[in-house]
Structure 1
Amino acid sequence: MRILLAPDSFKEAASAEAIAQAMARGIKRGNPQAECWLMPLSDGGEGLTHALVHATGGTLHDVETVDAVGRPIIAQFGFLGNKHTSCTAVVELASASGLEQVSPADRDPMAASTFGTGLLIRAAIDAGADRIVLGLGGSATTDGGTGLAHAFGFRFLDAHDSDIPLGGGALVDLARIDDSRVSDSIKNVPIVLACDVTNPLTGPEGAAHVFAPQKGATATQVELLDQGLANLARAIMQYNGRDIEHTPGAGAAGGTGGGMLGLFNATVKPGIELVLNLAHGREACAWADVVITGEGSIDSQTPYGKVPSGIAKLAQSQGKPTIAIGGTITRDPHTVEALNETGIIATFGIAPGPADLTTLIANTERNVEITCAAIASTLRITAATSPCESA
């Protein structure tokens, strides 16, 4: 039996690569004869760089940069392998400007900035990249990507032509954008935004209202951040005539999607579709008899642009079933029906029984291994007892 192992990361517990390896160990325990193809995936958030470097045989590069609150850190970008015609670098915003890089006590939703991600992209371009894939997800910021743009020389000025501070909270004072220090070559580098959300920049479904509370923003701060992003949209319209406020995906990563679309040569693509294309997902599904995928929580969001539904749809198009595992599983009928429609025929929770969250997170890889061993044993028994075709 050929089994494609194509999980996302289990957030705050284990990377997609670690989950895929744990899956493989479990499969071999349950069915030593099974063949496994490991294809760790990402929908554009955490794990994008490692997923694409792994899939294409590329290289990883360490860079000295800063996190969302300005502290020095080491982050990574990757170059794709497989003889791509362009020199494509992969950067994930979460690597430098991610929420997981900042402890809850140190989070500052008003001052948090994407400046460190800008430094990371600059390092990739300086190393020879002529195309960037930027994963939008997992950010600690709501600055509309202005910190990132600042790293390339963009200036964001108030009514007195003074530079405003970094962070989304300062955008309420933004009056105009100056690009006199930005080279045309930087502006013209193609940037593909890998994104799994379609939220606009502002409003009830925008970056501030939907995502900023997860980053520590109070109700009052949410309103100020939303006003700042609306101000950014007006400034971009005045700067170059681009209307990005209501563009789907502009609200991704605290509005970084909108800032990139407004200021750079950027386009948006669904993250999982981009990853599956670059990782040769169609060929992998054609090879497999069954696909096993997973993420930290299989819930009502899973059918819509997440890794499990993305790989399941591709497998379904080739007549291959998909099984999903997760740290938690939602069993409501609507979600189950939506998952089935994507091609996921069964879901399994990995928790062995009642336990506190800290213990469950610490044992994630072990529990993935045990769950996949049981799945492999079941698949082996099912295959052995299936009626043979007549000659």
Structure 2
Amino acid sequence: MRILLAPDSFKEAASAEAIAQAMARGIMRGDPQAECRLLPLSDGGEGLTHALVHATGGTLHDVETVDAVGRPIIAQFGFLGNKHTSRTAVVELASASGLEQVSPADRDPMAASTFGTGLLIRAAIDAGADRIVLGLGGSATTDGGTGLAHAFGFRFLDAHDSDIPLGGGALVDLARIDDSRVSDSIKNVPIVLACDVTNPLTGPEGAAHVFAPQKGATATQVELLDQGLANLARAIMQYNGRDIEYTPGAGAAGGTGGGMLGLFNATVKPGIELVLNLAHGREACAWADVVITGEGSIDSQTPYGKVPSGIAKLAQSQGKPTIAIGGTVTSDPHTVEALNKAGIIATFGIAPGPADLTTLIANTERNVEITCATIASTLRITAATSPCESA
């Protein structure tokens, strides 16, 4: 039996690559005769760079940059392999400007900036990239991508033509944008935004109201951040006539989607679709008899743009069944029905029994391995008994 192992990361527990390897160990325990192909995936957030570099035989590059609160860190970008005609670099915003890079005690939703991601993209372009894939997800910021743009020379000025500070909180004082220090070559580099949300920039469903609270923002700060992003939208309209405030995806990564669409040669694509295309997911599904996928929580969001539903739909289009595993698995009937429609025929929780969260996270890879061993044993028995018996 040929089994495609195509998980996302289990957030705060293990990377997609580590989960895929644990799956493979489990499959070999349950069915030593099985053939496995590993295809760790991402929907555009954490793990995007490693997933695409792994899938295409590309290369990783370390860069000195800063995190969302300005502290020096080492982050990575990747170049795609597989003889891509363009020199495509992959950057994930979470690598330099991610929430997980900053401890809860150090998070500052008003001052957090995407400047470090801008330095990372600049390093990729300096290394020869002529196309960028930027994963939007997992950010600690609500600055509308202004920090990123600042790294390329954009200036964000107040009514007195003074530079405003980095961070979303300062955008309430933004009056205009100056690009006199930005080269046309930078503005014209194609940037594809891998995004799994459709939120607008502002309003009740916008970046500040929906995402800023989980980054530490109070109710008062949320209102100020929303005002600042509305200010940014007006400044971009004045700068080049682009209306990005209610564009789907503009609210991604604290409004970075909107800033990129307004200031750069950027387009938005659903993250999982982009990844599956670049990682040759269709060919991988065609090879497999069954697909096993997973993520940290199989819940109401899973059917909508997440890795398990994305790979399941692709496999379903080729008549291949998909099984999903998760740290937690919902029993909500509406979600289960949506998962079934997406092509996921069964879901399994990996928790062996009641335990505290810290213990479960620490044992994630072991529990993935055990669960996949059980699945493989079941598949092997089913395959052995499924042919019609002779009379």
Question: How far does residue 389 in structure 1 lie from its aligned partner after superposition?
Answer: 8.2
Question: How far does residue 388 in structure 1 lie from its aligned partner after superposition?
Answer: 3.8
Question: How far does residue 387 in structure 1 lie from its aligned partner after superposition?
Answer: 2.2
Q: Spell out, residue by residue over 1:101-126, the C-alpha distance to the aligned partner (whole angstroms, 9 max, x if none).
A: 00000000000000000000000000
Q: Distance in 1 between matches of 2:130 and 2:293?
A: 33
Name stretches of at least 5 consecutive residues in structure 1 with no aligned partner: none
Q: Spell out, residue by residue over 1:242-280, the C-alpha distance to the aligned partner (whole angstroms, 9 max, x if none).
A: 000000000000000000000000000000000000000
Structure 1 pair 390/267, CA: closer, same or farther in 2 (3 Å)? Answer: farther
Q: Distance in 2 between matches of 1:112 and 1:4?
A: 39
Secondary structure class of the residue paired with 2:204 = coil
* 1:337 alignment partner in structure 2: 337
* 2:194 alignment partner in structure 1: 194
How many residue pairs are counted as aligned between the two chains?
391
Secondary structure class of the residue paired with 1:247 = coil
Q: Spell out, residue by residue over 1:146-168, the C-alpha distance to the aligned partner (whole angstroms, 9 max, x if none).
A: 00000000000000000000000
Question: How far does residue 351 in structure 1 lie from its aligned partner after superposition?
Answer: 0.5
Q: Distance in 1 between matches of 2:377 and 2:209?
A: 46
Question: How far does residue 180 in structure 1 lie from its aligned partner after superposition?
Answer: 0.2
Relative to the length of structure 1, the TM-score reads: 0.99
Structure 1 ranges of 4+ moved more than 4 A: none
Question: How far does residue 172 in structure 1 lie from its aligned partner after superposition?
Answer: 0.3
Matched, 1:21 2:37: no
Secondary structure class of the residue paired with 1:20 = helix
Secondary structure class of the residue paired with 1:268 = strand
Secondary structure class of the residue paired with 1:238 = helix
Q: Spell out, residue by residue over 1:6-34, the C-alpha distance to the aligned partner (whole angstroms, 9 max, x if none).
A: 00000000000000000000000000000
Question: How far does residue 331 in structure 1 lie from its aligned partner after superposition?
Answer: 0.7
* 2:307 alignment partner in structure 1: 307
Secondary structure class of the residue paired with 2:156 = strand
Q: Percent identity?
A: 97
Name stretches of at least 5 consecutive residues in structure 2 with no aligned partner: none
Q: Distance in 2 between matches of 1:343 and 1:255?
A: 32
Q: Distance in 2 between matches of 1:69 and 1:185?
A: 29
What's the C-alpha RMSD, in Å, of the aligned pairs?
0.9
* 1:283 alignment partner in structure 2: 283
Q: Distance in 2 between matches of 1:220 and 1:355?
A: 37
Relative to the length of structure 2, the TM-score reads: 0.99
Question: How far does residue 135 in structure 1 lie from its aligned partner after superposition?
Answer: 0.2
Secondary structure class of the residue paired with 1:259 = helix
* 2:262 alignment partner in structure 1: 262
Question: How far does residue 379 in structure 1 lie from its aligned partner after superposition?
Answer: 0.4
Q: Spell out, residue by residue over 1:318-368, the C-alpha distance to the aligned partner (whole angstroms, 9 max, x if none).
A: 000000000011111000000001000000000011111011000000000
Question: How far does residue 390 in structure 1 lie from its aligned partner after superposition?
Answer: 7.5
Q: Spell out, residue by residue over 1:159-189, the C-alpha distance to the aligned partner (whole angstroms, 9 max, x if none).
A: 0000000000000000000000000000000
Structure 1 pair 159/352, CA: closer, same or farther in 2 (3 Å)? Answer: same
Secondary structure class of the residue paired with 2:81 = coil
Q: Spell out, residue by residue over 1:360-386, the C-alpha distance to the aligned partner (whole angstroms, 9 max, x if none).
A: 000000000000000000000111111
Q: Spell out, residue by residue over 1:21-52, the C-alpha distance to the aligned partner (whole angstroms, 9 max, x if none).
A: 00000000000000000000000000000000
Secondary structure class of the residue paired with 2:238 = helix
Q: Distance in 1 between matches of 2:332 and 2:129?
A: 46
Q: Distance in 2 between matches of 1:332 and 1:49?
A: 33
Q: Spell out, residue by residue over 1:201-241, the C-alpha distance to the aligned partner (whole angstroms, 9 max, x if none).
A: 00000000000001000111000000000000000000000
Q: Spell out, residue by residue over 1:25-80, the C-alpha distance to the aligned partner (whole angstroms, 9 max, x if none).
A: 00000000000000000000000000000000000000000000000000000000
Secondary structure class of the residue paired with 2:309 = helix
Q: Distance in 2 between matches of 1:270 and 1:376?
A: 31
Secondary structure class of the residue paired with 1:133 = strand
